[in-house]
Each structure stands twice: as C-alpha cells, then as structure tokens.
Amino acid sequence: MNQPGIPRFGIWLPVYGNWAGTDPGRERHDASFDRSRRLLLEAEELGFETALLAEHIINPLDNNLDQLETWTATAALAALTSKIELIAAVKPTLFHPVVLAKLALGIEEISGGRFAINLVNAWYRPELERAGIRFAEHDERYAYGREWLQVVRGLISGARVNFSGKYFNVTDYTLRPASRHRARPRIYVGGESEPARNLAAELGDVFFNNGWPVGQIRANIADVARRPRSGAPLRFALSAFVIARETEEEAQEVEHELARVGQFQDLTHLLGSADPKAVMFQSARKYPHIGTNGGTAAGLVGSYDQVAQRILAFQEIGIDTFVLQFQPFDEEQRRFAHEVIPRVHRLNRFQAVSAAPVALAAG
C-alpha cells in the first residue's frame, strides 16, 4: 500500500458541491463531473495518491442541491487518470452484491488496478425511505452489510461463490474477468459502532476513521486491532478537513469565517434525518467541527508546521492514509501539496535518521 514511514495523502472529491456547507463568498456550489475531473487530475499531478467519492443519491445538505453520482463518475475518472487510487463509497441497500461486484471489477479493469470500495452502511433516512426502500434498524443494516460484503469480496477475488444467508442466496456464481492486476480491489470499511468495527476487522483491508482528535483515534485503533482477524494486518486511514496557513492565527481566522458562513458544521438540520444510533453523530456532539466525518475536529488547523506535526502524531499511532477535505478546494489542495506534504516528509526523514543506530568506530 505504501512504504513504512511514508504516509499517503488523498482527497475527498467534492461530490456534494463543497465540504463546509454553503459558502457563497469563497466557493459556489458545484457538484459537476467537470469540476471533479479537473480537481482530480490536478491532485494526481500534485502527488496525492488516493481519492474518495462519497455516496449519496440525494444531497443531504439540501435535497434541491446537485449531487454527483459516485459509481458512474468513478468509472469515467478511472479512464482519465493513471496513478491515483479511486475509492467509491457504496451503501449495500442500494446495490445487489452480484451487480455491485461486477461494477467493481469493471472499474478495476478500466483503472488498471487502482480501484477500491468504501463500505458505508448508511445513516441518511430520506435517501432510502423516499425511494420506497426500507431503512432497517442499525444493527440489522450491519448484519445485511456483512452478508453483502462476504458475497462481494468473494466475487471480486475471482472465487466461485455459493452463499446462503438470511438476506442473500447466491448459487455457483463467478465473474470474469477477475482482476488482471492483483488478487482483488482494496476494501475500506468505515463506521464507529461495535458492528462496524467487527466488520472492518473481519472483512476489511483498511479501517476508515472519522476525523476525531488523536486521543480518540488512538483508542479506536487499539480497539479495532484487538479484534479477531485472519490474513494481512488491518491498515488505518483518517478523514480530516485541513486549514493550513503561515501562522496559526491566520488559520484560525479562516476557520472562524467558514463557521460563520457555512452550514454543514451545524448538525441540527441533519439530526432529524439521521439514524439516532449512528455513532458518528454522537461523537459530533462532543467535537464541534467544520466539514464532514469529523472534519476539523482532527486538529489539522494551524500553521504549516503545526499541521505537519499533527499529521506525524497520527502516523505514530498507526494512521498511514489521510483523506482530506479543503475549501475552497482548488487553492487549498495546492497549498497543502506545496507547503504541508514536504514538511511531513522532512519530519519523517528526520525521525528515521534519529532512530538509526550509530556505528561505533573501532578504538
């Protein structure tokens, strides 16, 4: 995935339009494919190594706002890029696992082995209920998701699948071509509840943490890492919203301005439509923030040096992939690539040199 001591940096493409709510003074709402294509191609040139496309069918900020569709966009972006990993989020209720596995293998082929799945078991009720799709209770959604992922994982691995469960019955099914580039696409699993953590430990490759403070993430990682697992060790990724400037004071001014004009950090309009058992929203009450999935609560707000040091602190507890939100996106992803990533690399080189054993000259 990446070399030890060298973190991967990625972006959340702005499929909702922007990541800190309405911000007419700095960034207009634009959830178009053309914008995502342009931002992603630039991110690839800047050295970002992965990109997430979150999945919603209708925009949870405001159902009247545009919302980019994840899987068609990912397929198109796979054909336009050459190096960056593309992670498509998916809600199992929206796709039969056999159909989704075929789509995943198609994008794996288009991308030349750069595709990944992010399993999300849903929290936004109107998206399903208004379509006439039952919104199951929290733990049942994870039981459904576990069966779903067992089927998908087998099929994208090239296996012949026979599966009989409560929700799915698949008989003598195989998909061709399987991946020509590796054993199968990578699987990211998000969520903070007990069922989510069990699912990540059992069937995921990467546990995707929401952007909470480093102490909370340390506890999350320790908890997930202790759970039963077979195969390669589980890896850990972090979501975060970054505001980096020359000085801490400048960064805080930007944060205050985004809080003033934005709306996403105000969760009151979402809580009524969310599953009350979704742990992400319970955590959000503890950690006020801007952005989605923890956002600025991860603490990546400050001077370039401060943000680099805080990234190193997350690395030291086990995070090796950072998937980041910015606003305005264009200029802020450039700023991060030019100012913060080199600092993180220098800090890693310094630590490696400091930790190297010193050879004693023969006396």
E strand or H helix at 244:
strand 243-245
Structural domains of the chain, with CATH:
8-355 (3.20.20.30)
SS3 162: strand
Please give the Cα distance from 83 to 186 (Å, whole number): 15
State which amino acid sits at residue 158. Answer: G
Please give the Cα distance from 163 to 175 (Å, whole number): 15
Please give the Cα distance from 289 to 310 (Å, whole number): 17
Tens-binned pLDDT, residue by residue, of the chain (363 aa): 555 568 999 999 999 898 776 565 677 889 999 999 999 999 999 999 999 999 999 998 888 999 999 999 999 999 999 999 999 999 999 999 999 999 999 999 999 999 999 999 888 889 999 999 999 999 999 999 999 999 999 999 999 999 999 999 999 999 999 999 999 999 999 989 999 999 999 999 999 999 999 999 999 999 999 999 999 999 999 999 999 999 999 999 999 988 887 654 455 556 566 666 666 666 666 777 888 889 999 999 999 999 999 999 999 999 999 999 999 999 999 999 999 999 999 999 988 777 766 554 544
SS3 239: strand
Beta bridge partners of residue 303, listed in sequence order: 245
pLDDT of 265: 47
Beta bridge partners of residue 87, listed in sequence order: 52, 116
Reported pTM: 0.92
DSSP 234: P
pLDDT of 220: 96
pLDDT of 362: 46
Q: Are 205 and 305 in contact (CB under 8 A)?
A: no
Q: Report residue 9 as tokens.
A: 């940096």
Q: Are 259 and 175 in contact (CB under 8 A)?
A: no
pLDDT of 198: 97
φ, ψ of residue 237 in degrees (nearest 5): -120, 160
Q: What does the pLDDT look like over 37-47, one tens digit per residue?
A: 999 999 999 99
pLDDT of 80: 98
Residue 43 to residues 33, 260, 278, 328, 329, Cα–Cα distance (Å)? 15, 28, 32, 14, 10
